[in-house]
Structure 1
Amino acid sequence: MRQLKLSKAFTLIEPGPVVLVTTHDGKKDNIMTISWTMVMDFTPVFAITTGEWNYSFAALRENRECVIAIPTVELLDKVVGIGTCTGADTDKFSTFGLTPVQAGLVRAPLIKECLANIECKVIDIVENHDIVVLEGVAAYIDTARKERRTVHAVGDGTFIVDGRKIDRRKMMASKLPSGV
């Protein structure tokens, strides 16, 4: 094996999928791209990593709610574009041709073009690690959508697209919560 620079080790295990997180600051909607996400357990509790460097963070911290929208591969260029500009001076819904949809329980909008959307409430912010812990309060999936492949950021400007799905549900049945 060849040694890898420790500064690149995160590219070996960076989580995914890349998601879009919408917020509403009381005046306008915004979207940020997040590639650092984590499922906390089998409940609808998730974590994202973000902080002061993201324009949306102030709205997230103040209003304590957001939507996690899960895009599919055909939206990759829009996802990257959203992540490389700021909501401080860009209407990202308009600029990237995305449709905001009124959420049921939070002020942040769903994104119509995404495969799935999860309305969330902030339940904790771990400031020394820039981790925002979210609890899902409603979830939606576009069952009519044919494209379902999500993308995963490697962390070096490249992405991996989901591939073939392999089923081992029977083998794992004793470890899965009922209804999953």
Structure 2
Amino acid sequence: MKTLPLNQAFTLIEPGPVVWVTTNDGRRDNVMTVSWTMVLDFSPKFAIATGPWNHSYQALRDTKACVLAIPTLDLLDRVVGIGICSGSDTDKFAKFGLTALRGQLVAAPLIQECLANIECRVIDIVERHNIVVLEGLAAYLDDERAERRTLHAVGDGSFVADGIKLDRREMMAAKLPEGI
């Protein structure tokens, strides 16, 4: 093995899929690309990494609400485009041709073009690590969508798309104790 610069070690461990985080600050909708996401335990709790450098961060702090919209491989160029411009001077929904749909529980919009959307409320902000903890309130899935492969950021400007689904449910179920 050869040495990898330590500041590149994060590219070896990939978090959850790239998501769009939508907000509404009371005046207008916004969307940002977030490449660091994770699920917290087996509940509908999630975490994203973001901070004051992102225009949407203030809306997350103020409104305590957002939507996690899950784009697919066919949206990759829009994912990158949204990630490299700011909502402070760009209407990203108009610029990138996204359709905002009203959810049931938060003011932030769902995105019609996405595979799935999760309405969330902010339950904690861990400022020391720039982590926003979210609780899912409602989830929506477009089960008729042809493209279902999600995106994963490697961290160096490249992405991986979901590949082959490997089913080991039966094997894992065999290891569960009685009654579970």
Range class of TM-score, shorter chain: over 0.9
Q: Deviations over 1:93-138 (max 9, x none)?
A: 0000000000100000000000000000000000110100000000
Equivalents in 2 of 1:57, 1:14: separation in Å? Answer: 23
Report the alpha carbon displacement of residue 146 of structure 1 after superposing the two structures with TM: 1.1
Structure 2 partner of 1:9: 9
Structure 1 partner of 2:52: 52
Partner-residue secondary structure (3-state), 2:139: strand
Report the alpha carbon displacement of residue 16 of structure 1 after superposing the two structures with TM: 2.6
Equivalents in 1 of 2:154, 2:47: separation in Å? Answer: 18
Q: Deviations over 1:18-48 (max 9, x none)?
A: 0000000000000000000010011100000
Structure 2 partner of 1:124: 124
Report the alpha carbon displacement of residue 61 of structure 1 after superposing the two structures with TM: 0.5
User: Which 5+ residue runs of structure 1 have no aligned equivalent?
Assistant: none
Equivalents in 2 of 1:16, 1:85: separation in Å? Answer: 22
Partner-residue secondary structure (3-state), 2:62: helix
Report the alpha carbon displacement of residue 172 of structure 1 after superposing the two structures with TM: 1.9
Structure 1 partner of 2:164: 164
How many residues align? The count is 176
Structure 2 partner of 1:150: 150
Partner-residue secondary structure (3-state), 2:104: coil
Partner-residue secondary structure (3-state), 1:77: helix
Q: After the TM superposition, which residues 1-180 of structure 1 pair with which residues of structure 2 at under 5 Å, given as runs?
A: 1-173=1-173, 174=176
Q: Deviations over 1:145-179 (max 9, x none)?
A: 1110011000000000110000011122229xx7x
Partner-residue secondary structure (3-state), 1:7: helix
Partner-residue secondary structure (3-state), 1:125: strand
Code of the residue aligned with 1:105 in structure 2: it is L
Aligned-CA RMSD value: 1.0
Equivalents in 1 of 2:83, 2:6: separation in Å? Answer: 25
Code of the residue aligned with 2:162 in structure 1: it is D
Equivalents in 1 of 2:34, 2:14: separation in Å? Answer: 12
Q: Percent of aligned positions with the same letter in both sequences?
A: 68
User: Which 5+ residue runs of structure 2 have no aligned equivalent?
Assistant: none
Code of the residue aligned with 2:95 in structure 1: it is T
